[in-house]
A = this chain, B = another copy of it.
Amino acid sequence: MVVTDAAGPTAGHELPTGKTRDALRAAHLYYLQDLTMDAIAKELHTSRSSVSRLLSHARATGLVEISIHSPLDLPSRLEQDILERHEVSAHVVPVPDHASDVDRLERVALSAARILTRFIDSNQTIGVAWGSTMSAMSRHLAPKATHNSEIVQLNGAGNLRTTGILYASELLRRFGDAFGARVQQFPVPAFFDDPATKEAFWRERSTKRLLDLQASMDVAIFGIGSPFAEVPSHVYQGGYLERADYQALSRDGVVGDVATVFYRADGSTDGIPLNSRATGPDFGVLRRAPRRICVVSGQAKLPGLTGALAAGLITDLIVDEGTARRLVEDSAVEVGTPPERSTGTAMES
């Protein structure tokens, strides 16, 4: 009976319907005026159900943003400790200690996706790695409209068994969709077989263009790979590396990787042969990005995380509570602060 909204004629213009308009109005009434969905339904001449759906839509498309501010005076002891010891702004994700690794990853990724919003803006070049953490994140991104931003793939994703490209491109696409940004793929394998091939490739103009983009990133987002953890990261399951490669990594004292670039506990990367075949950005390049966001879930990644911190790769860290606690405890010992009992959040039973 009543047409939903403006824009009469057939389709044709940018947005298909006035649905977003309604969603916006519903969101105003719900979140700013505290009306019940019932009441909103009456004002919009529709049913409660539809209002519920409109509000879902509004949240899902980022019309509504919900953010949480610590009251500045009590910024989670853990976060403060991490800031002091590593000069990194931390976001600790509360997760019960008994949660499974899968749960933990999922929950950290969900939180991270929502927190990420505040770092993304217009006219930015955003570097994105891939892996199980990034993948989980990509599935939960809170959309935010930006102009003229660009998603740049940080490292190649091809491997021996499948192209892997599809997986990575799907991941990138999700980032692009969420922020209305162009996506720049990096169509190379994760590792070349021959360093010479890589170098040849790196001289190609199309490759150079991409490397230039990477060098001018405003934000980089990545997880941490941990080659020797019980729960291996995506890279280590997917057939990207061979047995001999692992042995080499082990010999070299590697503790982790960021965007398929490997490093030792002290953050050094020199003399790790595999890196000359890897496609991720040199840490020097990576560090040029003013904001470098690292998402970590699970204590298995602690050595990797510590190494990445030592390498100065991280400016913003999103990490689960248990891992954060261990991180602080470890470095407390290191620095000489007495390893005082855990500060005792309510979760500690």
Contacts and interface: CB of A to CB of B under 8 A. Distances in A.
Interface string A106-129: 010011001100000000000000
Contacts of A337: none
A11 interface: no
Interface stretch (A24-32, A219-227, A257-265, A326-334): A24-32
B343 A6 contact: yes
Nearest to A14: B73
A94 B29 contact: yes
Contact of A96 (B24, B43, B61): B43
Given A69-B65, A145-B71, A114 B32 contact: yes
B68 A32 contact: yes
A347 interface: yes
A2 interface: yes
A89 to B, nearest CB: 16
A70 B24 contact: yes
Nearest to A62: B69
Contacts of A71: 20, 61, 63, 145
Contact of A22 (B67, B69, B346): B346
A262 B58 CA distance: 42
B344 A6 contact: yes
Copies of this protein, total: 2
B6 A110 contact: no
A111 B32 CA distance: 5
A25 B72 contact: no
A67 to B, nearest CB: 5
A63 B73 contact: no
A247 interface: no
28 contacts: A5-B344, A5-B345, A5-B346, A6-B344, A14-B73, A18-B346, A21-B345, A24-B74, A25-B346, A28-B68, A31-B68, A31-B114, A32-B68, A32-B110, A32-B111, A33-B111, A34-B110, A45-B349, A58-B68, A63-B71, A64-B67, A64-B68, A65-B66, A65-B69, A66-B66, A67-B67, A71-B145, A72-B145
Given A31-B66, A69-B145, 8 more contacts: A6-B345, A15-B73, A15-B74, A20-B71, A25-B346, A31-B114, A32-B68, A65-B68
